[in-house]
Amino acid sequence: MRLTWHIFKFVFLDNLRSIWSLIYALFLALSTYALIYFTGSFTRAIVSIMNIIILVAPLVSSMMMSMYYFNKTDFLHLMLAQPVRRSQVFLGMYLGVSITLTLSVLVGLLLGLLFSLQQIDAILPLITLMVCGGFLSMIFSALALLVSVASKDKLRGIGLTLFVWLFMAVIYDGLILIYFIVFSEYPIEQHAIVLSLLNPIDLSRIFIMLQLDISALLGYSGAVFQKFFGAGQGMLISAVSLVLWVLFPLLIMLRVARKRDL
């Protein structure tokens, strides 16, 4: 664990000093501020910020993680030549990058909100937004590291990482839409809940949407979702699902890293 801590500290500081973390945080701060300032309506602004977060946070996290891994192969090889456990090195690396990314999201959002305090009239959707932003960063950096470690070369690794993001953010919704249309004669609200638990981006989106009062729009289906996600049990299940989304790719990544010929 000492080694993990050391590597974490190194990677964390390395990333923190990098200009990209700063640019990322500033971008989020600026767009948050601008959206609240220009849309006038707080609810609408939150929806727009949500759209940015659930698209940009996974994309940036995936890319930063993947790039960092491939740019630091020399460092990795050097480290792994020492009598150390691989899992500790990789875990330290993951934590270093993902925590910087999470911090960037949180700091960016907070900074943007700080400059538009007087327009804020509900705190709960903001907290949900931040929690989801943080989780998405953790999840997608884990996925990106897994894909990168498993890939043979840099090109394929980054390409696959991009595809994972594209699949989760866009293609997945298309597939479940086809499913909904094919089975539209049946009561498929329960299926919709399960399907959304299987995609962290959808889960975050629904979670935030239900905090806003547009949830009444969702009609009967919305009432089913509200009942599930609004109740303590549903909240717990979604939270557990998000945590599992971090842990699962991470554990597989550690497993792959242990076995792979680097």
Partner 1 sequence: MADMAFGRTIDVCASCDHPSLASAVEASIDGDSILVHSGTYIVQELIIEKAITILGEGTAVLDGDGKTILYVHHDNVQLLDLTFQHVATNYVEDRASVKCNNSDNLLLRRLRVRSSFFGLLLEKCNDGIVEDCDILGDATSESYLESANGNAIHLWYCKRMTIRRNTVRKHRDGIYFEFVENTDIRDNRSVENMRYGLHFMFSHENIYTNNTFEKNGAGVAVMYSDHVTMAGNRFLDNWGTSAYGLLLKDITDSHLEGNTFRNNTIAISADNSSRITMRNNRFEKNGYALRIMGNCTDNVIVANDFIANSFDVTTNSSTNYNAFDGNYWEEYTGYDLDRNGIGDVPFRPVKLFTYIIAQSPASIILMRSTFIDLLNLAEKVTPVLTPETLVDQTPVMHLINDHLTSRT
Query: Contact positions toward partner 1, by CB under 8 A?
Result: 41, 44, 47, 50-51, 55, 169-174, 176-177, 180-181, 184, 188-189, 191-192, 196, 202, 205-206, 209, 213-214, 216-223, 225
**Is 216 or 235 the residue whose CB approaches partner 1 more closely?**
216
> Which residues make Cβ contacts (< 8 Å) with residue 200, sequence separation at least 6?
135, 136, 139, 140, 168, 241, 242, 245
**Is 116 or 226 the residue whose CB approaches partner 1 more closely?**
226
**Residue 172: CB minimum distance to partner 1, A:** 8
**Residue 133: CB minimum distance to partner 1, A:** 16
**Residue 135: CB minimum distance to partner 1, A:** 18
* Packing angle, helices 124-150 and 42-71, rounded to 10: 20
**Is 65 or 203 the residue whose CB approaches partner 1 more closely?**
203
**Residue 162: CB minimum distance to partner 1, A:** 15
**Is 126 or 197 the residue whose CB approaches partner 1 more closely?**
197
Burial 161-198 (b: 16+ CB within 10 A, else e): bbebbeebbeebbeebeeeeeeeeeeebeeebbebbbe
HEC per residue, 33-96: HHHHHHHCCHHHHHHHHHHHHHHHHHHHHHHHHHHHHHHCHHHHHHHHCCCCCHHHHHHHHHHH
**Residue 258: CB minimum distance to partner 1, A:** 36
**Is 159 or 222 the residue whose CB approaches partner 1 more closely?**
222
